[in-house]
Structure 1
Amino acid sequence: MMQKKLILDTDLLDITIRRLCQQLIENHNDFADTVIIGMQPRGIFLAEIIHRKLEQDTGKTILLGYLDATFYRDDFRRRETPVKANETRVPFIIEGKKVVLVDDVLFTGRSIRAAMDAMIAFGRPATVELLVLIDRKYNRELPIAADYIGKVVNTLTSQRVLVELEAQGHKQNKIWLINKD
């Protein structure tokens, strides 16, 4: 039996995203040297929402890319079934840019480490910041921390965080904590 507990409902999620955007605006001003990169597969939906909101709020054009780190993962060759890669679309050079890497959930830190390796193909950024909707505390395997956090959630390894966004085809934006019993 699976138990679901609502972490963020539609309204709270909207407030959380607005707060994250305000923090980005405070730190990046006009976004002249800043790019946003969403991590495939699920971080791109959040990146698109944040990108759209930032462009509305600032009136500036902000570069947006998608990054797939599948082949950079340290567990890539250890899987039973081959992993299917997603599209990487970074149609700009990140050399000297401030990169805001966006993902939905920060868990062990391994995906972020892989993303940083994958990013180097597009140049050497001036800085890399991490924005996540959910930071799963106590599950980190690598020393990786987010700069912008929607919500910190204490989770067990046996639990799963499920992010449902309208952009992914769900009826409402909601985030759940699922107990796998």
Structure 2
Amino acid sequence: MKEKAIVLDEQAIRRALTRIAHEIIERNKGIENCVLVGIKTRGIYLANRLAERIEQIEGKKISVGEVDITLYRDDLSKKTVDKEPLLKGSDIPVDISNQKVILIDDVLYTGRTVRAAMDALMDIGRPSQIQLAVLVDRGHRELPIRADFVGKNIPTSGSEIVVVELAEVDDVDQITIHENE
């Protein structure tokens, strides 16, 4: 893989998350009955960052949880031919029934990860609404899924890969496009 371009740096990611936080508050007329749920792995770090910004803006804490979609993936049998799937576990500290759940992920691509996350959420409870916030929407949907809140739309070709690096796991905040050689 060869890096083609840095699309968002640390400052641009911070601005995008701040904008998404404001949009979440505005769309939901505050944060009453709202829960942020990050899709493992990077989605949980983005959910925590959004929760911090929302608290700074609203002066109130918003609940944050995380969902593991491993067992809900439609490609599970292909990926786990020789080994059992590694479960990381979901952790949502509040009952999501009748709550507005804002699902958080780093990149929206085919829509399959989001579909798996929605299935996992429905097994946990019955939210009144599920909204989707992503840092990057790169297109190429295979399922009819669209984000409610988008940090940046990055049109890509099928041979390109969007790499999101976050300080919590990668020691740097940046989003790059790589060419799959």
With the length of structure 1 as denominator, give the TM-score of the two structures: 0.93
Q: Shift of residue 134 of structure 1?
A: 0.3
Counterpart for residue 150 of structure 1:
151
Which amino acid counterpart does residue 97 of structure 1 have in structure 2? Q
- For the 8 Å contact 1:100–1:130, the answer to whether it is kept is yes
Counterpart for residue 106 of structure 2:
104
- For the 8 Å contact 1:37–1:65, the answer to whether it is kept is yes
- For the 8 Å contact 1:3–1:180, the answer to whether it is kept is no
Unaligned runs of 5+ in 1: none
Alignment of 1:64-143 (within 5 A): 64-79=64-79, 80-82=81-83, 83-137=85-139, 139-143=140-144
With the length of structure 2 as denominator, give the TM-score of the two structures: 0.93
In structure 2, how many angstroms separate the alpha carbons of the residues matched to 1:63 and 1:34? 7
Name segments (4+ residues, structure 1) moved above 3 Å. 80-83
Q: Shift of residue 14 of structure 1?
A: 1.4
- The farther-off stretch of 8-17 and 128-137 is 8-17
- The farther-off stretch of 61-70 and 3-12 is 3-12
Corresponding pairs, count: 179
In structure 1, how many angstroms separate the alpha carbons of the residues matched to 2:115 and 2:36? 17
How high is the sequence identity, in percent, across the aligned residues?
38
In structure 2, how many angstroms separate the alpha carbons of the residues matched to 1:54 and 1:165? 19
- For the 8 Å contact 1:69–1:114, the answer to whether it is kept is yes
Which amino acid counterpart does residue 27 of structure 1 have in structure 2? R
User: C-alpha root-mean-square deviation of aligned residues, in Å?
Assistant: 1.3
